[in-house]
Every structure is written in structure tokens, then in C-alpha cells.
Amino acid sequence: MQDDGMRRPEEVVGYWCETLTAKDWWQSTPDLDARVFSRFCATHRALSRAVTPEWRESPEARLAAIIVLDQFPRNMYRASPMAFATDWIARREARLALEAGADKLVDYGRRHFFYMPFEHSEDLADQDLSVALFEAHGDEMYLDYAIRHREVVAEYGRFPHRNAFLGRVSTREEEAYLAEPGAGF
């Protein structure tokens, strides 16, 4: 760790992809959310201001930037607007990484993180790209999630489960959807 609390890309990837498990990624706990906040908040804040060349100099560094901007906020700022505040930066970095072919140069089990910023978008074109990327990726579980995310955005134009956190009023249709068991992500 650097003196300013900023972590290096390899520390991000090591923690997220080697220390944690897939269960941690998808079934977080308040304790894990607090640990991610404590360890990576300074890094997230710095990257939200500027993604410096260090975070683009290798495929793993690009992966780390996307994890910091797309995954970490969902832990650090769960149930708040801040959870989604850097999504647009994550999408920009994911596009740049894809243009550089970085996704194909990391371990197969980590590639999906390059595609998730598009799955998290409320823009239908991004959702279409997400589904295409996950189809090419070839993992049925991730493709299923991508399709389900796309269906929600196609139906409602947004993710209704975010409405309460973002101060948006839900439509009757969204309220009915949210009342269904397992609605939202």
C-alpha cells in the first residue's frame, strides 16, 4: 500500500480474485462490505477522479480498475446512490480494455468482470453488448444473468430495484415486478 492509502492494481486483483471467492462476490455480508470500504475506499475515490496510466498499463491493471470502479462500490456503498456513481467510468474503462483486447489476455475465470459494467448499465445498447459479450464468453450462468438483466431494462427502461436508493418513484408496473419473489439483482 502507498502512503496515501492508495492500493496498486495487483493488490486489487489479488484481494478480489484470490483472497475472496465467487460466493463473496455475489453474496456479500456487511462485514465484507466494511472490509472492502476500509481497504479500498481511497483507491476508489482516486480512480473516480482520474484513471492514471498505471491502471491501463497491462490487462491485469485494466481488470483492477474495472473491479474498483464497478464491483467495489456495490460493496462499499451498498443501498445508496454511491453504489452506482462510478458505473459510467467503469463502462468507459471496460470499452477501452475491450478495444485493447485485455479481456482475452487474463484468466478465463476473471474475464467476466470486463463485461459486467455493461450488464450494470440501464442503457439498452449496453445491455445488448453485455449479452453478446457473455454469449461469446461461453459461460451459461453468466449469460443467464446477462439475459435477465437485459430483459429488465428492456421492460422498464431501468432497474426498478435501484429506484428507492436513487430517489426515483416506481411505476405501478415496477411495484408489481418488485413484489415478485426474487425480483431485482
CA angle 73, 75, 78 (to 5 degrees): 85
Q: What are phi and psi of 51, to 5 degrees?
A: -90, 105
How far is CA 22 from its chain centroid? Answer: 14
Question: What is residue 12's predicted lDDT score, i.e. its pLDDT?
Answer: 98
CA distance 71 to 156: 23
pLDDT of residue 82: 96
Q: What's the pLDDT at 1?
A: 46
Query: For the whole model, what pTM was predicted?
Result: 0.94
Q: What's the pLDDT at 183?
A: 85
Give me the pLDDT at residue 184, please: 80
Task: Give helix 59-66 / helix 112-119 axis angle, nearest 10°.
Answer: 30
Ranges of residues in the chain with a pLDDT under 70 are 1-4
| pLDDT at residue 37, rounded to an integer | 97
C-alpha cell at 142: 453468466
In the chain, the domains with their CATH numbers are: 1-100 (1.20.58), 121-184 (1.25.40.10)
Query: pLDDT value at position 182?
Result: 84
The grid coordinates listed for 83 are 453504489
